[in-house]
Every structure is written in structure tokens, then in C-alpha cells.
Structure 1
Amino acid sequence: MTGSDGPHREPGSDVRAAGSASERAREEEEERAVEQALALVGGSSGTGRSDRSGGSGERPSRSRDPRAPWDSRDSRDSRDEDLNARRSNDSHTGPGSAPHADRSSGSDPCDGRDSDLRAGRAAPAPGREQPPHPDQAFPGDPGKTPPPSWDRARAVAARAGRGGAPATIRLPLDRALGHVLAEALGALTDLPSFDTSAMDGWAVAGPGPWAFEAGAGLLAGRGPAAALPDGTAVRIATGARVPPETTAVIRSEHAHVDEARGLLHARRSVVTGQDIRPRGQECRSGEQLVPAGTVVTPAVLGLAAAAGYDALPVVPRPRVDILVLGDELLNAGLPHDGLIRDALGPMLGPWLRALGAEVSGPRRLGDDAGALRSALTSSDADLIVTTGGTAAGPVDHVHPVLDALGAELLVDGVAVRPGHPMLLARLSPDGPYLVGLPGNPLAAVSGLLTLAEPLLAGIAGRPAQDPYRALVHAEVHGHPHDTRLVPVVHRPGRAGGRDHVAPLRYNGPAMLRGIAAADGLAVVPPGGVRSGTEVEILDLPWAPATPWTEGCFT
């Protein structure tokens, strides 16, 4: 048996026993918890954030609703001391290349499910306190409500991000790339706005042969030409305005010019309207071109420009502050004397930008509760992302600081491996959100995809990524109770076989080697999946890139 965040397999655990009373009770409890959390998150009150912008592309105020906690925190004082002593901390790593050292003396992050479970730490909303349900408690912590499932935690994060009406700014085309359209784009003109030639050649009127005059003919960008008399032809360039009364355009290679007689002959039969782009062929003025919520791609920019736009109405990018916690972290050089390199600082900024965020940081605070509190209270971001410090060790300050600030915990722990001690909070009813990531690298990736990605998608007005199903040609071990996220790479089918995904090695919570070679994460249900079956997949932001995963990775 391996660890709480690594492969964990017991005999017969491939398929969860159907109809188990305890399993049904667990699922019913999760249903009740998520329904309450989603109902609370869906409120409509809240005041606007301070205005950072005007209409020139800077950020206006955003109004969002206050959020309610996921579960009650008043059971925290009765937390079992033995569980605290045994709790393995996903937010700090053991020796190696991970960014945070394990501060639980003698604890093994792969020591079983009890080792790092935390629940019931959120400050209760007035009148919404939930009593414990001992019959639905999770192992090792009697009386504690189990954490939400992976998909339900994502749903809470997405709902939180959609809580307020998105702000709208107008950005010039050269600054709008990657933003989300706040409004649908309607054509401001017919496309094309006049009849144009689709080819270099000859505009002809009536049947041939056609008389022509020597000269440059009609070029693109010129004004309207005189009507073309029947039986005549004129040279025309691609994109030039077609003269009135034109029957067709004959391509240069399909025409024979009799210079001596001044006549043009067609080498092929001529069809009325051939090689002419009629006005409004692509769209008519006012026709919707792109719906609201579309991510602005280079192609969308080109279409918008063609349709007459100089600027686009978009949702501002969510602003994110990154705070890296931990006294054991080095910014440069080789690990030494118990110090290790910070792996998350260099990784999180680009990853969050790939999710559409405007990123500030990382700021490295060490294990300083005062510095953390100051950073949280001074932030004007939409989201603060912290690394490490989300468990219950002696220098894990995230929960105590959130308590002191009166923050509301929307999600406090998730039934997923790696990354169980992740959290989502809101510092105040109109203040920023906070996603607390565990300090182990792959556990932090799990937190990004579970909480940060759907939250940012909601704030930015874009749909969150939905998992899709893919065939897997290998058995993937699962956790007995929790969802497991496993790095995978897509493989083309051979000899007519289906495309599939292959799970990668080096998928422990403290490892990055597997995720660096991956283009997706398999969402493995409790009990695992068998070879030859399908598994849910989440793409990574760089999924279209060509994978490099030969050798020992699979």
C-alpha cells in the first residue's frame, strides 16, 4: 500500500462496492453539503470593488456577492489531537525537489487516508450551523463532515466566480487578444461591403468575345468604376470593386488575349457570377458574428477588424496575486542544508496567465503570519493564490490568518489526491478570493485545476473546462475513497485503433517530472479504472503541444 496522495490500492478496490450503506450515507451527506454551499454562494448582495479604471481599457469596479462557508468551523476546537499528530501535510513536502519541506516529524505523506484529512474548519454563516453527523464521518476523525467531492468542489468554485455581473471594458484590437467578449459582436457592415473580384483576371459583360482597352485596369482600393458596356472587358485585380453590369470574372489563365484585334476570348465556358464575391456573401450588417463569452483569438481579431471594429467590449482579465510561503525555500542554486528550491514560484505565474489571468508576483513571504496578513489585507486582486501552509502544522498560518480576518471558507479540503488540503475562501463580502494550494508541486497543480481554474473562468466570463472521456490502455490505481488526478499523455491509435491516453510515472504529490511530460490529467474515480475502459480527462493549458514522453515516463 502506498501513500495517501500516491497510488493506494487494496485487494478488490478496482471497483467500489455498489450499494454499500456507508458509501450511500457518504454520498447523501455530500449532496446535502453541496446543495447548501451552492445555495449560499448564489446570493445577490455585495458591493462594488474600488474603481481602478476608466473607459480606456483599465479596470472598472466589479460587484460580486458575499460567499458563505462550505461547512462549520466550530468543531475545530474539538479536533482529535491524535489526528493532528498523525496528519500528513500535503502542503509541505519531504526531502527532494519539492518546494516545501514536510514539517510533520516522522509523518509520511503516503501513510494512508487519515494522514492529511481536514474538515469542518469554516466559520459558520449565521443561522446555518450544521451539527456533526457521526454516521457519515470520514475515517480517523469521528464526527467530522467529509470534505466535498472533487467535482462538487469545482462546482462551488465556478459558482463563486460567476457570482457578480462581469465588468466590461473596451480594448483596442491590439490589446484584446485572450480576453473574453463581454457582448456579442454584430457586423457593422456587409461583408464584403461591395461586389469584389475573387481573382486576378478580366471583368466581362455579356457574351464573348469581348473588346478591351490596354491599360492597368481596375485595382483594389479604388473607387467605383463606370458600368461595363455589353461585349467589353477590363482587367481587374483580386479584391477590386467589380463594375456595375459585370457578368463574370475570367481568370487570367482561362483567357486568351488577341492583342492584334483587341479581343478577349474565354478558354472555358463562362458562368454568370463566377469568381465574383457578391456584397454580403459572408454576412449582412447587424448579423451576429461571435457570441458573448467567446475568447478573443487571432482569428476573432481579424473578423472583428473586417467587420468594422476598432475596439472590442471585453471582460477584464482577473487579477491574481501569488504569495509563496515557506522558510525552507531557495530562489537560486542547489538545495543545501535542509533548504530546497522553490518550484511553485516559477510555475504558477505562467500557468495562471495561461488560464487568462493578469498576474502579480510571486512574492515570497516565508513562514511569517504577520507578513501574510499584511499581504492579504493590502491586495486589490480578484484572487490571491498562496502556496503551502494550508494544513495544521506549527508554522501553517493560512487558516489562523483567515480566521483572524473573518474570512469565509467556501471549500476547506477536497476529497482528491494529491492536493487534499486545498481551500477556497473569500476575505470579505466584496473582497478578493483566496485559493490556498498545498506546497507539494503536483498537489498544487491539483488545486489549480480543482479550484483556481473554474473560479477564474467564472470571473472572466468564460465556461470552465469540462472533463471529457478517453480510452486508457493501462490499469490506473485509485484511492479507496477519493478522486485521484494522474498525469497522462495522449497517444494516437495504431493499426486503426482508437486514440487513447497513457498514465505517466512520477505522479507522487511531491513530483513534477510526470506533469512536465503530460498534456492532461486523468480524473480517476475511487477504486481506479481498468485497462481498456474510459476515464475522464482534463486538458492542461498547453495540451495542443507535441508531447515528449518516451522511455521511462509510461
Structure 2
Amino acid sequence: MSTTRTTAWSDAHATAWGAAGPLAPALTAIRCAAGQILAAPIVAATPAPAFDAAAMDGYAVSGPPPWRVAGQVRAGGPQFARLFPGSAVEIATGARVPAGCEGVVPYEDCRRVGDTVAGALAGAHIRRAGEDAARGDVLVPSGRPVTAAAAGLAAQTGVERVWVHPRPVVDVLVTGDEVVLRGVPGPGQVRDAFEPLLAAVVARAGGELGAYRSVRDDPAALGAALSTSAADVVVVTGSSSAGAADHLRAVLDARASTWHVDGVACRPGHPQALASTPDGRWVAGLPGNPYAGLVAALTLLEPLLSTLAGRPRRPLPSAPVHGTASVHAARSRIVPVATTGDGVRIVPGARSASLRAAATADALAVLDGGWTTGAAAPLLMLP
């Protein structure tokens, strides 16, 4: 049976980064891989350019001027085999230059009379085959994200599929008999705030939001929902504390789950949890109060998802934080902050159940027990 063993905030955050490893690589179409982390390098299948091509609209020429125009070459059209000294072909940017071509004279640098063209050849204006990449070149190393430019370069060099770490799928189970997922809440009900909040956090971490559903405040119902989820990570909101309606600990213990974090020494967001099940899935427990849940999502869920998605851990930014906050020697205080003309300042009015202050913030600052106004603190940037 688990017992709450409160973890310092910094240790909980580090544990979430280090508890898992990247998901097994999957071969993915390059058009679907944007934003995912490469599990293997992108290697050019063809050279780029694939052939010597005109870099300007004009005339491909051979020998000294004047040149007799022997034909016309368009990109993707019929090819002209060879130029001999004193000859030229009119050519479009991107078209293959004939053998024997010494360079391309742009239209603006030449004059044509009938089938004769004259001008000065100042630079080749030819994109040489393989000058950007040769076949077999490593274009992007593993561990890098597939950016728009990387995807375009891969396609340009004949790469159609790449090995990436898949986006971890996240199912969300919303507990609380008083919570409604849609519409205007009735008497005694509250409207769920987590769906759009978690969608933003999951997307930034490289994950994919899967099923999102309500679960009754009943251990059997929660256990059944956990058992039927096939997601990589299951987020449970509102059942991570120790109240009569909080069943997450008992349900996970009944499944012989491993606890990595069971309570964090911070305010708000103390009753948050991270566990793994024997079948290899992850469960993140978030407090039911929206601001506390946001704190927990950035503390545990985002680092876990980032690791599963293959993303490297980077140090949190920090900045001097100005304002007023109540700090405690034994726990961290997590406050919303906004960047203003005179630095980073605490947004007043933050409460565990309210997102009002956080909605006008740029980040959450983690204040330790020794913080005083103007002292530096790590920042959790808001998605």
C-alpha cells in the first residue's frame, strides 16, 4: 500500500524527466513527422541538386560570344544533349544545362538579334549536382526535431520516411461527480477546465491528446477506466488527494504499480502523483483545482511526455522575480508571473481553484523558502 512521501519540487521535476525513456522508434512518412524527434539520422537518398541546373533565366552558352541560339530548354521539358563552342540555348531556372555548357548568361546581361545572342559571361550561374548534398550524406542527425526545413530537405533528396520517436498518446480521466465536461453547469456542478489546458500542455510536450472522459467517484469505475485505456500515459484529475472520493492511490496499489512521485512539497499542487503500471503505462495524478492542476501538469506531466517523445532535457530559464508572495521553508510556492517593462513581476491574486491570475501570466515562478523580492527563480513557461 502506498504512503504519501512528499518530494521536494525540484526533485519531483527531475524525477519526471528521468523516470521514463523515449518510446520505441517508428518509421513515419516525412509529411507526418514534423515536430517529432529523429531516432535515426536523415540520410540523402539522392544528390541535391540531382543534376547541373540553371540558376537564372537566360542563355546557356559555350565558348566566346556571339552565340547562335540552337534551341530552348524548360524545367521538366525535353533536354538538349550538348552545346558546342559558339552555340547557346535559351534556358529557364531549374532546367538541366546541356553538356559543354560553360555558364548561363541572364537575360538582363545579354542582347539577342534573331538567332544570335551576345553578352558577357560573368559567373557560371549553375547549381552543380550534389553541391547541397551528395547521396549518403547525413542531412540531420538523430536527436533533432523534424523541422519544416528538415522535412523539405528530406523530400528534396528522395527521403520519404524517417525513423522518429512517436508522439505519446495521453488519455484523460476526469473524476468528480460534480464536474461536467460540456455546457453550462447546473446547481452544485462545476465546468471542467482541464481539456483545453491539457491540450496545450500535451501538444507542447510533443504528445497527442487521446480519449477524454468523465469517470464516477468510484474505485471500480476508475479501475475499469484505467484498465481499458491503451494510451502511453493516463492523466487522472481530481483523485490524487486523500479524501473520501480520492481513489487513485488505492486503485494503483491494487495493480502493483510503482510510485515515482507521491505528493510534492509545493503550494499549490501538493497532491500530485506519478506512477507506472506493470504493463508499462504511466499514470499522472493531478489535483482537481484548475490552477493546482496546471502546476502539476508543468511539474510532472510535461517532463514525462517530453522524455517519451525523445526530447532532451534543457535547464529551466530563470529570472529575478519581483513582488509579494508568502514563502515557506519546507515547500516551494508556485506563482504566476508576467514580463513587464521593469522585469518579471508576480501577478497577484493566484488561488488554487482559479486560473484568473495565470491567464494573464507568461510563466509560473518556483519560489523556494529563501526567496525575497528581486531574487532569481526558475520559470515554467506557459504554453
1:439 corresponds to 2:288: yes
AA of the residue aligned to 2:373: R
Among 294, 297, 309, which residue is 1:448 paired with?
297
Structure-2 separation of matches of 1:173 and 1:374:
37
**Secondary structure of the structure 2 residue equivalent to 1:361:** strand
Q: How many angstroms apart in 2 are the aligned matches of 1:451 and 1:178?
A: 21
Task: Return the letter of the residue paired with 1:219.
Answer: R
What pairs with 1:219-238 in structure 2 (closer than 5 Å)?
219-222=74-77, 224-238=79-93
- Seen in structure 2, the aligned counterparts of structure 1 residues 465 and 342 have a Cα distance that, compared at 3 Å, is farther
Contact 1:180-1:460 at 8 Å conserved across structures:
yes
TM superposition shift of 1:195: 1.4
Q: CA RMSD in A?
A: 2.5
Partner of 1:480 in structure 2? 328
C-alpha contact (below 8 Å) 2:143/2:311 kept by paired residues: yes
2:127 corresponds, among 267, 277, 281, to: 277
2-structure distance, mates of 1:520, 1:209: 67
Residue 171 (str. 1) matches residue 28 (str. 2): yes
**Aligned residue for 2:318?**
469
Note closer, same or farther for the CA distance 1:234–1:511 as it changes in structure 2 (3 Å cut). Answer: same
**Aligned equivalent of 1:101:** none
Q: Does structure 1 residue 154 correspond to structure 2 residue 9? A: no
Q: Deviations over 1:449-477 (max 9, x none)?
A: 111111112212122453123455x3353
Amino acid of the structure 1 residue aligned with 2:11: R
Q: Do the aligned residues in 2 keep the contact of 1:172 with 1:310 (CA within 8 Å)?
A: yes
Deviations 1:279-319, CA, capped at 9 Å, x for gaps: 22212221211122222233222111111112222222212
- DSSP-derived class of the 1:415 partner: strand
Matches within 5 A, 1:90-105: none
Question: Residues 417 and 479 of structure 1 are in contact (CA less than 8 Å); yes or no, is this contact kept in structure 2?
Answer: no
Q: Is the 8 A contact 2:171 2:229 kept in 1?
A: yes
Query: Once the two structures are superposed, what CA deviation does each residue of 1:94-114 show, in whole Å capped at 9, x if it has no partner?
Result: xxxxxxxxxxxxxxxxxxxxx
The residue aligned with 1:522 is 365
| Partner amino acid, structure 2, of 1:469 | S
Bigger Cα displacement from structure 2, 406-415 vs 293-302? 293-302
SS at structure 1 position matched to 2:7:
coil
Pairs within 5 Å for 1:42-121: 73=2, 76=3, 119-120=4-5
Amino acid at match of 2:292: A
Confirm or deny: 8 A CA contact 1:256 1:264 kept in the other structure.
yes
The residue type paired with residue 283 of structure 2 is: L
Q: Give the 5 Å matches for 1:9-20.
A: none
Distance in 1 separating the partners of 2:182 and 2:47 = 57
Using the TM superposition, give the Cα deviation of residue 527 of structure 1 relative to its aligned residue in structure 2, in angstroms: 3.2
Poorly superposed stretches of 4+, deviation over 6 Å: none
The C-alpha deviation readout for 1:222-274, integer Å capped at 9, x for no partner, is 46532222233221111111222322222222222233x723224xxx3342x
Q: C-alpha separation between the residues in 2 aligned to 1:281 and 1:503?
A: 53
User: Residue 100 of structure 1 aligns with which residue?
Assistant: none
Task: Look up the SS of the partner of 1:161 in the other structure.
Answer: coil
Equivalent residue, structure 2, for 1:401:
251
Once the two structures are TM-superposed, the CA of residue 336 in structure 1 deviates from its matched residue by: 4.3
Match of residue 59 from structure 2: 202
Match of 1:509 in 2: 352
Identity %: 41
Structure 1: 5+ residue stretches without partners: 1-71, 77-118, 121-146, 494-498, 542-554
| 2:268 aligned partner | 418
Which residue number corresponds to residue 15 of structure 1?
Answer: none
Q: Distance in 1 between matches of 2:127 and 2:164?
A: 32
Q: Deviations over 1:28-54 (max 9, x none)?
A: xxxxxxxxxxxxxxxxxxxxxxxxxxx
Q: Quick one: distance in 2 between partners of 1:306 and 1:293?
A: 21
Q: Which residue of 1 aligns with 2:216?
A: 366
Superposed counterparts of 1:284-433, under 5 Å: 284-428=134-278, 430-433=279-282
- More moved, 518-527 vs 372-381: 518-527
Aligned to 1:314, the other structure's residue is in SS state strand
Q: Which structure 2 segments of 5+ residues have no match?
A: none
Match of 1:262 in 2: 116
Secondary structure of 1:394's aligned partner: coil
Normalized against structure 2, the TM-score is what? 0.90
CA distance in 2 between counterparts of 1:219 and 1:263 reads 18
- Contact 1:507/1:514 (8 A) holds in 2: yes
State the alpha-carbon separation in 2 of the partners of residues 485 and 460 from structure 1.
Answer: 26
Q: 2:98 aligns with which of 238, 243, 255?
A: 243
Deviation at 1:500, TM superposition (A): 4.5
Is the Cα contact below 8 Å between 2:68 and 2:87 reproduced in 1? yes
State the 1:364 CA deviation.
Answer: 0.4
Change (3 A) 1:436 1:307: same
TM-score by length of 1: 0.64
Distance 1:249 1:341 in 2: 68
* Equivalent pair of 2:364/2:381 in contact (CA under 8 Å): yes
